[in-house]
Structure 1
Amino acid sequence: MDPIYRALIVCTNHTDYPTKPHKTGLWLSEATHFYDELADRNLPYDIASPLGGPVPIDEKSMDRRDTVNEKWYSNPVFRDKLDNSIRLDDVEPANYQILYLTGGHGTMWDFPNNPRLLEITRDIYENGGMVAAVCHGVCGLLNVQLSDGSLLVNNRQITGFSNMEEKLVRLDEEVPFLLEDALRQKNALYSKSIIPFLPYIEVDERLVTGQNPLSARKVGRKVMEEMYEK
């Protein structure tokens, strides 16, 4: 019998850009494509956010041609978890062996300095769990301090949304900082795919990160591989 692991998927609540009129939020496929890999094993999961309640979806990510988005966004259980996410303050880290930080530009505002998210990440990691993140969600790892005082990202192989990708989507002037630069400043061993917007992941022991939205499925697949096939 395979062990039963439980996953915690963390999403943003933040919707506003400083000057752009359109709204941000969760980039939907970063949740659905990752979960699609977990669903094959019927893994129990919860969706949480800093404030709890409804997770806002970045309108630009509602791609009707994406059959995986359609499948899970119209799935009553998944949708209910998105609409009624658990507040991070109410999360018990000991219940989870997998932590996954989804992206969407909103995370750049409400992930990096959220004290509860930093604690949950540290606890799940130090309890031997897998910590995964994709795209802008990787910003939630920047300030995670382990019990020995070291930073989780220090000297680790990591990827995340690149400066070039940020420029190409014309949001480099909107975000509070550039993720690639911030990771390098924290001494992460940052790498990215040569061509922007192609799937790319980095694995460093129990830390799995994906560069952009198209990397979410690969992150999910890698997490499953690491948990079940080692």
Structure 2
Amino acid sequence: MNDQTKKILLVVTNVDRYADGHTPTGLWLSELTHIYHSAGDQGYDITIASPKGGSTPVDPESLRPFVLDSITKAYWENGAFRDLLQHTESLQEIADQQFDCIYLAGGHGTMYDFPEDAVLQKIIGDHYERGKMITAICHGVGGLLNARLSNGEYLIKGKKITGFDWFEESIARRKTKVPFNLEAALKARGVDYQKAFIPMTSKVVADGRLITGQNPFSSKAMAKVVIGEMANI
């Protein structure tokens, strides 16, 4: 690695259960594997971190055969990669480092530990104001809700943005499980919320250096757009 190597921070959740204490959740695996694979192909310096550090649980729903694409399946069967998921850095440990791109991976677990994490909010705000890329997919977009700029304004106010919508939450049968309605929360921040015409299909929205993906089906396109934009910085 040389001084010109681009650095990307992939942020994942530590939460493995919904508030009911029984239903498992965690990281939606494809929302990490596709960006990890694409960034690795480019030779980027990749850091995987989580609010607390250590293990990031994987949502078992994301491992079902009909949603487990070939790239994600290959990584899941790779012992070294699975070991990485057990030993993530903590956000506090890497808070002073500089990255070219911050990427918030999704999964319902992120709804519990991303939105109120002060360290994450500061990393996001600081990097955005330094001209770096801020990207998030699916429920990981919730990590942008409380990020502010130095003038006190919410970073996402007035921005074009997407994220897992409320109808998709119905399809996923999670409306009674989730702690809040992500689509409504984003709209309450004054964003220009956009979504795919057909639920559960790929949608990526770019607003300058802010890039968001709607759902797990956006994982491949999201990686392509993010890596494409990183090539220009």
TM exceeds 0.5? yes
Shift in Å at residue 12 of structure 1?
0.6
Offset at residue 187 of structure 1 (A): 0.3
Which residues of 2 match residues 80-95 of structure 1 at below 5 A?
A: 80-95=83-98
Distance 2:163 2:96 in 1: 24
Partner of 2:109: 106
Asked if structure 1 preserves the Cα contact closer than 8 Å seen for 2:95 and 2:119, the reply is no
User: In the alignment, which residue of structure 1 is the partner of 2:174?
Assistant: 171
Matched, 1:213 2:212: no
Report how far residue 76 of structure 1 moved: 4.5
Asked if 1 retains the 8 angstrom alpha-carbon contact of 2:115 and 2:143, the reply is yes
CA RMSD of aligned residues (A): 1.8
- Corresponding letter in the other structure for 1:218: A
Relative to 1, partners in 2 of residues 1:18 and 1:92: Cα closer, same or farther, differing over 3 Å? closer
Aligned to 2:132: 129
Amino acid at match of 2:230: M
CA contact (8 A) 1:112 1:140 kept: yes
Q: Secondary structure at the match of 1:95?
A: coil
Q: Between 102-111 and 215-224, report the one with greater CA deviation.
A: 215-224
Q: How does 1:118-197 map to 2 (within 5 A)?
A: 118-197=121-200
**AA partner of residue 38 (structure 1):** A
**Equivalent residue letter for 2:227:** M
Contact 1:93–1:124 at 8 Å: present in 2 too? Answer: no
Q: Is the 8 A contact 1:12 1:55 kept in 2?
A: yes
Q: Distance in 1 between matches of 2:52 and 2:174?
A: 25
User: TM-score, normalized by length of structure 2?
Assistant: 0.93
Identify unmatched segments of 5+ residues in structure 2: none
1:53-72 alpha-carbon deviations (Å, 9 max, x no partner): 01100011114552111222
Counterpart amino acid of residue 138 in structure 2: C
Q: 1:97 aligns with which of 74, 94, 100?
A: 100
Shift of 1:178: 0.6
1:31 alignment counterpart: 32
- Secondary structure of the 2:48 match is strand
TM-score, L = length of structure 1: 0.94
Report if aligned partners of 1:33, 1:69 keep a CA contact under 8 Å in 2.
Answer: yes
Q: 1:19: how far off?
A: 3.4
AA of the residue aligned to 2:18: Y
CA shift, 1:77, in A, is 4.3
1:81 positional shift: 2.3
CA distance in 1, matches of 2:4, 2:217: 29
Moved more, 111-120 or 2-11: 2-11
Contact 2:40 2:46 in 1 (8 A): no
Summarize deviations over 1:182-230 as a string: whole Å, max 9, x none.
0000001101001111010100000000000011221111111112147
Quote how far apart the aligned CAs of 1:169 are. 1.0
Contact between 1:94 and 1:124, CA under 8 Å: does it hold in 2?
no
Tell me if structure 1 keeps the 8 A contact 2:160–2:207. yes
Q: In the alignment, is the contact (CA less than 8 A) between 1:37 and 1:217 conserved in 2?
A: no
On the 8 A contact 2:166/2:181 being kept in 1, the answer is yes
**Is the deviation greater in 85-94 or in 68-77?**
68-77
2:205 to 202, 206, 212: 202
CA-to-partner distance for each residue in 1:82-105, whole Å, 9 max, x for gaps?
110011111135431111001100
One-letter amino acid matched to 1:154: K
SS at match of 2:24: coil
Question: Partner of 1:198: helix, strand, or coil?
Answer: coil
Q: How many residues align?
A: 230
- Identity fraction in percent: 41
- Provide structure 1 residue ranges, at least 5 long, that are not aligned to the other structure: none
* Partner Cα separation in structure 2 for residue 93 and residue 124 of structure 1: 11
Distance 2:83 2:9 in 1: 15
